Structure 1
């Protein structure tokens, strides 16, 4: 029988019995970065959350009209447009943005729509290289890389158009960590402010010295929010990823709410779940981490030695020095979420970035980038080309994708969750106060945009 909550604790104060994540870091005995020692939780209420916000077409319409055109979103990596004239198309809902590298390496973003007859300059989801101008494929209207007018064919027929009133519609554009961000709202706050604690926390985990080693795009059978929420908590590990409980500190994960835009979870790898009643030996845990238990030194923990081996293996593989990285940095699932749709993992063993984009109320596009450190010789490999997967395609079809099984388990849940939510007579979901606080924070911020 499930043990009832302690009535002496205020809502949101309860935690899983056993060692906390910070206790685990204390036991590691190495120099954990200050950012990983920060704890910042906020109780955000315990009322039910309606399923209507996932499936109601009016809610989707409001997102298009008040959310996607007013928030900062990562559009591409800088390495996707390395040279003058390179361009990349970012599509979100009904919007399409053309990101271009121009003179002196300056990156700009424009509506992917010719001001003549509305023709797109480039197809949705496409990229192009080294073009001196931006030319419309319909009538040949041509613009410079800064958006200014270059040429109007049959110029005599357009005496009412000139360099001042006929140029591309520019949108806000800025970069952080090698990611190029866009915002269609001219009055939006600067990116640096929107990122809240991320720039400070990521000073140690620089993202601009990484490159895209793998890029997947998968259509998921769920609303973008529902799909995304599966990655905002570790509560599901016990049932969905039951094979991992011997090596994952799921229920004692730490959840932080840094502001309306940024939240985080961290959970330890190489320790067993608090749900397990029988203690595994260190050799057993080491074996479940994929190691030969006979090589584990006497008196050494599986977590510490696995981290040491990864330091050596990844230092050689990536051509970088990882000797000063803490055990937590090497192993743990450290995930920052940036509203509305981006995830950044700064760790070494789990080095991902996600984003989710709506297709319709029942489907979304989930993109995963695996980012590896640029080799010490400074030669940045070209970014991997996207691999597109359909709803029924497995991540295991992507060569070298170590997390394929885990991701298949995550995404296989979604159709049943979507259909179950639609079948619900209750019409709402009830969230945990701590482990699912990031979901509630997402919807709190979403409502600020929808209702404003």
Structure 2
């Protein structure tokens, strides 16, 4: 391994003690969570101007596949053209503005408006109209009446959309460093194994805040403390113009933190992190190599349960045909937490990632939003169809069984929103361990002030 690998960002990244006091504002106005005027300001200054993840490329595998992407009061159409490129359009007929598509489907022959039967090809060009041969379009410029295109691009297997047709390229918005750090994970090769969207009774920024810090684990996820050791002093941070990444090295907690307790903790990880299951057989074999005839475990200097887990992960994924050559050993075990402005949070390590997208509610109510959970995993070809998940829109609150940690967050976030509505509470007071939240809100500040380019 060479130190030129992107994953070595951690070695020279900021620790909490390196972040100077006052770098980011730590008091956040509660008004931005509950004020309808803020919703309108965000609509104009953030959502209509930024790149945002609108789904996975795998949702549109065939020519003509389409899906609707709704954002507040705006509706967009994503469709894969005959050249296999995904494009985006305003989801409205150029004749009388009728919505063209709802949900998802396939329109290999083109897009047909059901109101007056105007039709468009997969590239958005107007093909024809009802009674066209009777010169109904004589006075209209057919060439200028194609669908209104919006900016769409793909990265890491995700479809990104920007409502601004003159937006700078996606990779410019992300930044070269972000692209370089994420590409080695090969997220575009992973299969979606969970795809759930549900309305929540909280502001979209409450969701982003909740997943941007580990300070709440002791209070909301006490079960995790039985498995994972939380040590803020070992967390490292990297801040970009609009985005950020942080990482707390994976350490297994144990009753006495001895070797056997750490091994036991790793073997119990699937209860919290199901994807570890595939790695455990090789991990058990590696541990067995260091036991003597009496079964006593003796690890030489430099070998720990963590390094054995990393080795087992690399060997297992490589053996299944997944290229992890661009990832460091630490990335075999350590989840990196990414915030891509404005609404994309992801934890990612070798072979898997969980993404949480937060989006304002179309009603415009600041006390409501959507969260969209996307879990992706690398799987051998023969297992992909069996584990691939279709999109699920949850319409009955509480009906979907999230895994424990997500369920705990699901229940907590509306509680916070109820507290934020108290008029006497004018601001939140962040602690240093919540610096990622502070950075995120500094970007929100810039956009709301209209200063972002």
SS at 1:204 equivalent:
helix
Task: Say if 2:49 is the partner of 1:70.
Answer: yes
Q: Deviations over 1:96-135 (max 9, x none)?
A: 1111111221221100111112211111xx2212522111
Which protein has the bigger helix share?
2
Q: CA deviation at 1:310?
A: 4.1
Structure 1 pair 138/259, CA: closer, same or farther in 2 (3 Å)?
Answer: same
Residue in 1 aligned with 2:305?
302
Q: CA deviation at 1:256?
A: 2.6
Structure 1 pair 127/437, CA: closer, same or farther in 2 (3 Å)?
Answer: same
Equivalent of 1:178, from 153, 157, 181? Answer: 157
Equivalent of 1:353, from 352, 355, 358? Answer: 355
Greater shift in the superposed pair: 32-41 or 331-340: 32-41
Q: Aligned equivalents of 2:329 and 2:86: distance in 1?
A: 37
Structure 1 pair 390/120, CA: closer, same or farther in 2 (3 Å)?
Answer: closer
TM-score by length of 1: 0.81
Residue in 1 aligned with 2:221?
241
Equivalent of 1:140, from 101, 114, 117? Answer: 117
TM-score by length of 2: 0.81
Q: Aligned equivalents of 1:51 and 1:426: distance in 2?
A: 7
Q: Are the equivalent residues in 1 in contact too, given 2:30–2:425 (CA < 8 A)?
A: no
Q: CA deviation at 1:321?
A: 5.9
Q: CA deviation at 1:283?
A: 1.8
Structure number with higher relative contact order (C-alpha < 8 Å, ≥ 6 residues apart): 2
SS at 1:414 equivalent:
helix
Q: Aligned equivalents of 2:368 and 2:89: distance in 1?
A: 27
Q: CA deviation at 1:188?
A: 2.2
Residue in 1 aligned with 2:342?
340
Structure 1 pair 333/448, CA: closer, same or farther in 2 (3 Å)?
Answer: same
Structure 1 pair 349/108, CA: closer, same or farther in 2 (3 Å)?
Answer: closer
Task: Say if 2:366 is the partner of 1:364.
Answer: no
Q: CA deviation at 1:154?
A: 2.5
Residue in 2 aligned with 1:26?
none
Q: Aligned equivalents of 2:201 and 2:155: distance in 1?
A: 31
Task: Say if 2:86 is the partner of 1:86.
Answer: no
Equivalent of 2:95, from 96, 116, 128? Answer: 116
Q: Deviations over 1:185-223 (max 9, x none)?
A: 133221111112221112321211112122122322210
Q: CA deviation at 1:313?
A: 5.3
Structure 1 pair 248/394, CA: closer, same or farther in 2 (3 Å)?
Answer: farther
Q: Aligned equivalents of 2:408 and 2:399: distance in 1?
A: 10
Q: Are the equivalent residues in 2 in contact too, given 1:85–1:102 (CA < 8 A)?
A: yes
SS at 1:415 equivalent:
helix
Residue in 2 aligned with 1:261?
242
Task: Say if 2:216 is the partner of 1:211.
Answer: no
Coordinate RMSD, CA, aligned: 3.0
SS at 1:116 equivalent:
coil
SS at 1:352 equivalent:
strand
Unaligned segments of structure 2, at least 5 residues: 269-279, 292-296
Q: Aligned equivalents of 1:51 and 1:421: distance in 2?
A: 6
Task: Say if 2:144 is the partner of 1:165.
Answer: yes
Residue in 1 aligned with 2:274?
none
Structure 1 pair 304/51, CA: closer, same or farther in 2 (3 Å)?
Answer: same
Residue in 1 aligned with 2:210?
230
Q: Aligned equivalents of 1:261 and 1:324: distance in 2?
A: 25
Unaligned segments of structure 1, at least 5 residues: 1-28, 399-403
Q: Are the equivalent residues in 2 in contact too, given 1:212–1:371 (CA < 8 A)?
A: yes
Q: Deviations over 1:249-289 (max 9, x none)?
A: 342353534323210111122344xxx9x852232233233
Matches within 5 A, 1:399-410: 404-410=403-409
